[in-house]
Amino acid sequence: EIDTCQNEIDALNEKASEEILKVEQKYNKLRKPFFDKRNDIISRIPKFWLTAFINHPQLSTIIEEDEEDALKHLNKLEVQEYEDIKSGFKIKFFFEANAYFENESLVKEYQLDSKGDPTSVSSEIKWKDGYDLTARAAQRAAVAKGAQRKRKLETRTFFTWYTDNEDPSNDDVGEIIKDDLWPNPLQYFLVPDLEVDVEEEEEEMEDEEEGDNVVVCEEEDEAAEEDEEPEAEGDGDREEK
């Protein structure tokens, strides 16, 4: 009897998944014009995507200093999910002309193979002479060989992540971009402003506390002086006697 009930539950769960998929597909189409409009606005803001990346707590850990210089030319980012959302998605990076590579766009694609296992593929980066950032990263890794690192995410750089398709099942960077950065990049772009506001508020509170302390000290000094005056008068009376 329990097995029969469980089979009914599983059947309902499967039906629910199908319904949820249809809703997601519907709203993905409804959201697209707004994503496009947002991208048009973002394209007019210098270094928007670079700022969002380096302010993101996870993504910032894979971006090297020389990569920041390359990523400041990233002027558009898109995440496109397949019609069958469960089967995969692709991330498109669009760049203005830069000193590092010839590509106007780079695409990394995630999908399931015929067995249902995750796979990924990246378009080739056409590096300009002397500007291959993945080669530089390999050189740094060779120098630092033997140094222990706690998390795999920290051992990668942005462009080595992009070109690495060996183990997509453990590729959390793509999922972070798709599920966290892409839906609302503005929250990460604005992080510095929020920090500045907090710092200003803390400074104002410190100033107020210092002002209060000064007032308290002045009141204590005045009270001490009043206590000393009667003693001085008493000493004078004794001298006269």
- Nearest CA to 163 out of 111, 126, 195, 194 is that of 126
Q: Would you say residue 231 has pLDDT above 60?
A: no
106 or 21, which is more confident: 106
Q: Are strands 105-112 and 74-81 parallel, antiparallel or unpaired?
A: unpaired
Tokens representing 19 are 């319904």
Q: Would you say residue 35 has pLDDT above 90?
A: yes
DSSP state of 79: E
Amino acid at 192: P
Element (H or E) spanning 29, and its range?
A: helix 2-42
Cα–Cα distance between 142 and 136 in angstroms, integer? 10
Instruction: Give the model's pLDDT for residue 238.
Output: 47
Q: Would you say residue 164 has pLDDT above 70?
A: yes
151 or 26, which is more confident: 26
Q: Residue 160: which residues within 8 A CB-CB, separation 6 or more?
A: 134, 137, 138
Cα–Cα distance between 151 and 173 in angstroms, integer? 13
DSSP state of 125: P
Q: Would you say residue 37 has pLDDT above 80?
A: yes
Over range 87-116, report the average pLDDT.
95
Task: State the residue for tokens 């966290």.
Answer: 180
Instruction: Give the model's pLDDT for residue 241.
Output: 43
